[in-house]
Amino acid sequence: MSDYFMNTYRRLSATFTHGEGAFLFDGTGKRWLDFTSGIAVNCLGHAYPALVKAISDQSARFNHVSNYYQSDVTERFAQKLVEACSGAGMKKVFLGNSGAEANETAFKIARKYSLKKYGPGRHAVVTLKRSFHGRTITALSATGQDKFHEDFGPFTEGFKYAAEGDIPALDRALDNTVAGLLLEAVQGETGVRPLDQTYLEAAAAFCAERDILLMFDEIQCGVGRTGAFLACEGFGIKPDVVTLAKGLAGGVPVGAALAGEKAADTLVIGDHGSTFGGNPLAAASGLVVLETVNNPGFLQEITRKGEKLRSVIRSWNKPNVKDVRGKGLMIGVDIEQDAWGILEKAFEKGVLLLSAGAKTLRFLPPYIISDEEIESGLRILEEIV
């Protein structure tokens, strides 16, 4: 089948046929322990019973409704999602299909908010130099990494990048041409790097003083991944806009851009749209995720399991393990080896793992993974490393 795909992915040689809990299986019955969750998507693991039932029940009713109308399940999902994010001040949501689409929505909100209030010339969006915000041309324009920009220019005008952790540089970047600042509280694609508390507090203060929309890209680090429903909540920061996707519907494509009081009514009829946004199947799945994840006991377990995983790796006392960091079940491990080589060896021994740079391993296991499964997977990885 590989002959029929464009050659856009570096793949390992498995074709999975089904999954159960924290495991995936191929057609021969061989199984792999999944420390990837489909890159933070399958947050409740594979074949989670309540998720299976919700998708099946909804499919028996209808799969899609045009946004000329509304569906009961999508209304419930929107309400529950806004409520889940209300601690961060969110008031309204736009539903799409992906993280890139959610971020595109955030850019439009920031630019229109600034235009209507201050007029032309104040439309730039600032991001960080090691950021990642998606694969569309505009989301790539927002991504502050040169390696993603090769071959695809010209890019959307109006983005500029500040150095992570450099407060004076951020102060200079947030000038009177800027409409919004987009941050990842925990940067995923560049090594699972939580931003510094002081830096985030300074960013929030600058934005509040200058009426610049403070926006958080929580595509990978949101929906409980870091032990708080929104990663920015774990830092005590209330943004103006938050974007979500990946784990939000437990494996069904969905994206969301939420806005707080300042920006909730910026977009009006005709400003934006998405054919599949608010899809009933995604909404039904999303309700299960919200009902499961967004409770204190479940989030505490994510935190505890993440601490256990990091503690075990630190206990290896391996000289080629240079750093272990992260929050919740979003963990990066710097090694003095080729990360892809470790991935290949782990795959051969029945463990699925991710990289986040040439020498960084990334762990994004499903939230339902057991202590025993964590321990068994890490024993295999300790032998390899």
pLDDT digits (tens, 9 = 90+) for 121-158: 999 999 999 999 999 999 999 999 888 888 999 999 99
Whether 227 and 253 share a structural domain? yes
Mean pLDDT of the chain: 96
pLDDT digits (tens, 9 = 90+) for 295-306: 999 999 999 999
The count of domains in the chain is 2
Exposure string for 135-160, b = 16+ CB within 10 A, e = fewer:
ebebbbbbbbbeebeeeeeeeeebbe
d(CA 339, CA 27): 27
Which residue segment(s) compose the domain that 311 sits in? 2-48+296-384
Output the pLDDT for position 62.
Answer: 97
Whether 129 and 240 share a structural domain? yes
Whether 91 and 226 share a structural domain? yes
Output the pLDDT for position 20.
Answer: 98
pLDDT digits (tens, 9 = 90+) for 104-115: 999 999 999 999
Output the pLDDT for position 181.
Answer: 98
**Sequential DSSP letters for 318-374:** -TTEEEEEEETTEEEEEESS-HHHHHHHHHHTTEE-EESSTTEEEE---TT--HHHH
Whether 196 and 106 share a structural domain? yes
d(CA 234, CA 216): 13
Whether 142 and 35 share a structural domain? no
Whether 17 and 147 share a structural domain? no
Q: What percent of the chain has pLDDT over 90?
A: 95
Least confident stretch, 231-235, 294-298, 317-321 = 317-321
Output the pLDDT for position 290.
Answer: 98
Is pLDDT of 1 > 60? no
d(CA 142, CA 156): 9
Q: How far is CA 57 from CA 19, 77, 79, 247, in A?
A: 20, 15, 20, 20
pLDDT bracket for residue 3 (50, 70, 90): confident
Is pLDDT of 76 > 80? yes
Whether 250 and 107 share a structural domain? yes
pLDDT digits (tens, 9 = 90+) for 330-370: 999 999 999 999 999 999 999 999 999 999 999 999 999 99
User: What average pLDDT does range 259-264 have in this prediction?
Assistant: 98
Q: Which residue among 249, 267, 293 closes a domain?
A: 293
Q: Which residue among 267, 293, 319 closes a domain?
A: 293
Identify the helix (H) or strand (E) that includes residue 187. Answer: strand 186-187
Whether 288 and 176 share a structural domain? yes
